[in-house]
Structure 1
Amino acid sequence: MTGVTNQAPDAEDLTNVELAARLRMTLGRLNRRVRQHGPQALSSSQASTLASVEALGPVRLGDLAAHEGVTAPTQSRLVGSLEQQGLLRRMPDTEDRRATLLAITAQGRRQLEQLRGERSAFLVGQISTLTSEQRAALVAALDALEALAECPYD
């Protein structure tokens, strides 16, 4: 009987489907671990909404919901909770007086900075545990990961 090795397969040995599955699972696990670090006052949906309003600038609720991939009523509940915490505010749309725009407050920016800082600190700690070979592989993989992530509002 031959022994089982834990050696990772070469890139040529993985099909695109297998590679996609491993990547999805690994990124999902890493994302969950990162989200566990930071202010617990915000749910992941609230943090995403807050970050989107920051990135998009003053935005209408419907446009924000479309961007976040949720229904308008769901987005409205999230926005309401962030308003109550003083992290978002509504303001009149100067182009359409019937509409309102959502904007991040100074307190909301501070909350996002704290969240990002704590999550980055967690990743710095995790990266420091890697071997020099693993760190080099991570650096080499960043271009490909960034190309996969292409996000127009970053």
Structure 2
Amino acid sequence: MEIPGKTLGAAADAELAETLYALLSAMLRHRPREMSMTSSSTLAALLSDGPMRVTALAARQGVTQPTMTTLVHSLERDGLVVRMPDPADGRATLVRLTDAGAELVRDRRRQYAEVVAGYVRMLPDGRRRSLDEALPAIRALETLMRGDPA
């Protein structure tokens, strides 16, 4: 995996990166398990970014177009997404989240946030304050990793 921008050089940067990765891995072990991470991530992408072509979803999720087509068929069968004509190109279709799909994403996020909040509450007050103070930096990092303009 290529790291954009500067290479991690300082030991503190490397330690922070490894700690954040370990935290993410530990958090993912506590996620709801009723669907694959790719399915969940695809639904979340549709909620945040709106309707997309299958090819765009595949690229975003790092899977092949045939794999994403199969996944979309499954999500469509479950009533979580629908296909609709692309208004910009009548030959193409867009995948759009249904109300049920959006509600599922929101419910999963709430459940997951409750689990994480439980762990945060277990921290001593000083550590919780430190996390609160780090929130702007964590949000900026998330923005950079999403590729959004800063």
Unaligned runs of 5+ in 2: 1-7
Deviations 1:89-117 (A, max 9, x none): 11111332211100001110111111001
Task: Compute the TM-score of the two structures, normalised by the length of structure 2.
Answer: 0.80
Between the two structures, name the one with larger relative contact order (CA 8 Å, sep ≥ 6).
1
Q: 1:76 to 1:24 in 2, by over 3 A?
A: farther
Unaligned runs of 5+ in 1: 1-14
- Choose from 40, 56, 60 the match for 1:63: 56
- Choose from 94, 119, 135 the match for 2:128: 135
- Number of residue pairs matched by the alignment: 139
Q: Which has the higher mean CA deviation after the structures are superposed, 117-126 or 73-82?
A: 73-82
- Choose from 68, 86, 89 the match for 2:82: 89
Structure-to-structure mapping, 1:2-81, within 5 angstroms: 16-81=9-74
Task: Compute the TM-score of the two structures, normalised by the length of structure 1.
Answer: 0.78
- Which residue number corresponds to residue 12 of structure 1? none
Deviations 1:65-92 (A, max 9, x none): 2222332222222222212221111111
Aligned-residue CA RMSD in angstroms?
Answer: 2.1
Q: 1:17 to 1:70 in 2, by over 3 A?
A: farther
Deviation for aligned residue 1:41:
1.8
Question: How many percent identity over aligned positions?
Answer: 37
SS state of the match for residue 59, structure 1? Answer: coil
